[in-house]
Amino acid sequence: MMEKDVFEPVQLGDLTLANRMVMAPMTRNRADAQGVVTPMMVTYYRQRASAGLIITESVPVSPEAIGYPLTPGIYTEQQVAGWVRLTDAVHAAGGKIFVQLQHCGRISHPSLQPDNATPVAPTPLRPEGQVYTYTGKHDYVTPRELEISEIPKLVAQFKHAAEMARHAGFDGVEVHGANGYIIDQFLRDGSNRRTDAYGGSVQNRMRLLNEVLDAVGTVWPAQRIGVRLTPENRFNSMSDSNPQTHFSYFVEQLSPRGLAYLHVLEGDMTIKDSEVDYRALRSKYSGSYIANNGYDLARAQTAVRSGNADLVAFGTPFLANPDLVRRYREGLPLNEADRTTFYQGGEAGYIDYSFYSGEQA
């Protein structure tokens, strides 16, 4: 039996991917003020279509879901028309692409909300730090507790976005249950202090994710739906009292759903120590598992060959190297990412990274 390799094709549900390298979702703030895809976004994603799978930057499912300026939405016809141009370009270049559906919850600001409304959360706990808005950086505000009667509307927003994603020509959707946004806020007990049916026990804290998956599952078959989790990422003032136990439960519950994949950020984005045994977590999931967080080629090959991952997601390397698959396969040097350009807008640090030997897309 041949040893597994990140460069070999892999089956993901009913999709055949060209390789096991995934372009991770990365917010880049290059949409227009109406949340519509811009021409440079089409170029950016097309340039990176050699990835086995592209997962888009997080995409708000409604006006209330917005947490950052100039992020692309997927709830209006105008937004869908922009995504059609992008998915067509990726497919023409031989790629596959899922859209990451997101609601920021408390990670927002009244100036980013319809009618300057207060952002919502499972519990009115103010995150630390500041949020970027169209008028500069502002302190986060204390969110308003989402009422039980409002939850069906939130779930319906995910369903509507899933419907729009089908019209936009995506190959599937990823439900963003990670990084301190609304679903993650419900999952983790550091941000969820509710005492009703959506708080307290792990069963209750998972209720929102289950309802979103059930709703999205009426639009897409399970094998075209992925889920992203971050058991111990501290980003956005997140914490959990027992991530190993709690996320073991969440993963066990997700396993029978027959999803396209489970996408896990292993550890914390800034602190490399880990309290979670991700091999044990992965063992509880029977489907395809995407590992993410600081992987290079050597670590990725080890993870795939050992069975600890079926696919591996790369963020910054794909950002700076549109031809990352070729560079890794052929042992070519990598471009260095310019972090000062990550969120500033414009083409610099976005679509001007060179292909090897100066070759352009």
Please state, in angstroms and rounded to a whole number, the distance separating the CA atoms of residues 157 and 160: 5
Q: Is the dihedral of CA 260, 186, 285, 316 positive or negative?
A: positive
Burial class (CB in 10 A: 0-12, 13-18, 19+), 47: buried
Residue 120: CB atoms within 10 A of its CB come to 23
The per-residue DSSP string of 95-156 comes to --EEEEEE--TTSS-GGGSGGGPPPEESS--PPSSEEEETTEEEEPPPPEEPPGGGHHHHHH
Residue 292: CB atoms within 10 A of its CB come to 24
249 is a catalytic site residue: no
Residue 38: CB atoms within 10 A of its CB come to 18
Buried b (16+ CB within 10 A) or exposed e, 324-338: bbebbbeeeeebebe
Catalytic residue selected from 68, 181, 198, 328: 181
Tell me how many degrees the CA angle 66-237-291 measures, rounded to the nearest 5.
80
CB 200, CB 153: distance < 8 Å: no
Please state, in angstroms and rounded to a whole number, the distance separating the CA atoms of residues 25 and 10: 20
The per-residue DSSP string of 339-355 comes to GGGSSS-SSTTTT-PPP
Two structure tokens written together for 233: 């990422």
**Residue 45 parent element (H or E):** helix 39-47
Which residues participate in catalysis according to the annotation?
181
